[in-house]
Amino acid sequence: MNIDLELINACLKKNRKAEFTLYQKCYALLLSVCFRYEHNKSDADHVLNKAFLKILNKLHTYNLNVPFEAWIRRIMINTIIDEYRRAKKNAHVITIEEIASLGHLDAVVDMNDATKKFNERDLLRMLENLPTVSKQVFNLFAIDGYPHKEIAEMLNMSEGTSKWHVSFARKKLREMIQTNEEREQKRMKGLE
């Protein structure tokens, strides 16, 4: 990773464009660190953004003799550890899944049958089965909220191609959900 001194100095002066440029340059590295600890992109992005804010706030303490990459990795890992500790402290909070396992879900939350049988982990597993580019475009559009124009620019494709990948991903996800539901129904019939 090559971060020049001018960019660091501009960030120290709170130049927003420079901060965004630094974010873009650090994003891939920080995200790869996050994915070693976090299981989904949403959690990884959340922790990454917290870490990047710390990086900006502590930039004045950066020692030029230390490789910048090593310095931001350390902040990223410390932030992940802080989040783990915070989550561990709140471990007594009851989740929807725990309420469902107690058989009181319908009284607490109005959800349809498909939602009860389907959770975030299932969706993430299905997303992993999509072709790489379709998964990437779908994540950028449906999860990160980027418009097709920006996705097309980022991935060097046309807007139409971006839209096609989202449509294709949705179709494949629907098929996987349908297959999952059919499998669940067969399993339930086998138990009766």
Instruction: Give me the pLDDT at residue 77, please.
Output: 83
Q: What is the pLDDT of residues 39-87, one digit of tens each?
A: 788 888 999 999 999 999 999 999 989 999 989 988 988 888 788 767 7
Sign of the C-alpha dihedral computed for residues 108, 110, 116 and 122 taken in this order = negative
Same domain, 66 and 121: no
Q: What is the pLDDT of residues 123-143, one digit of tens each?
A: 777 888 888 788 878 877 887
Same domain, 31 and 65: yes
Query: Of 3-7, 105-109, 129-133, 145-149, which gets the smallest average pLDDT?
Result: 105-109
Q: Which helix (H) or strand (E) holds 7?
A: helix 5-12
Residue after which a domain boundary falls, among 89, 119, 138: 89
Instruction: Give me the pLDDT at residue 110, please.
Output: 42
Q: What is the pLDDT of residues 13-35, one digit of tens each?
A: 999 999 999 999 999 999 988 88
Sign of the C-alpha dihedral computed for residues 37, 40, 41 and 44 taken in this order = negative
Closest CA to 48 of 26, 16, 63: 26
Same domain, 79 and 116: no
Check residues 103 and 133 and name the one with the higher pLDDT: 133
Within-domain flag for 103: no
Within-domain flag for 43: yes
pLDDT of 165 over the 70 cut: yes
pLDDT of 93 over the 80 cut: no
Instruction: Give me the pLDDT at residue 88, please.
Output: 61
CATH of the domain at 125: 1.10.10.10
CATH of the domain at 34: 1.10.1740.10
Indicate the pTM of the whole model. Answer: 0.48
Check if the beta carbon of residue 127 is closer than 8 Å to that of residue 138: yes
Mean pLDDT of 98-126: 54
Say if residue 87 is exposed, middle or buried (CB neighbours under 10 Å; 0-12, 13-18, 19+).
exposed
Q: Cα 171–177–180 angle (5° rounding)? A: 145
Token duo for residue 129? 């089965």
Residue after which a domain boundary falls, among 89, 122, 142: 89
Q: How many domains does the chain have?
A: 2
Residue after which a domain boundary falls, among 89, 120, 148: 89
Task: Please give the Cα distance from 37 to 40 (Å, whole number).
Answer: 9
The domain of 150 spans: 110-191
Instruction: Give me the pLDDT at residue 89, please.
Output: 65
Q: Which helix (H) or strand (E) holds 112?
A: none
Within-domain flag for 20: yes
Same domain, 17 and 78: yes
Instruction: Give me the pLDDT at residue 9, please.
Output: 93
- Band (102; pLDDT cuts 50, 70, 90): very low
Within-domain flag for 140: yes
Within-domain flag for 132: yes
- What dihedral do alpha carbons 180, 185, 186, 189 form, nearest 10°? 160
90 φ/ψ angles, rounded to the nearest 5 degrees? -95, 20
Instruction: Give me the pLDDT at residue 6, please.
Output: 94
Instruction: Give me the pLDDT at residue 84, please.
Output: 73
Same domain, 115 and 147: yes
Average pLDDT over the chain, rounded to an integer: 79
Same domain, 114 and 83: no
Within-domain flag for 104: no
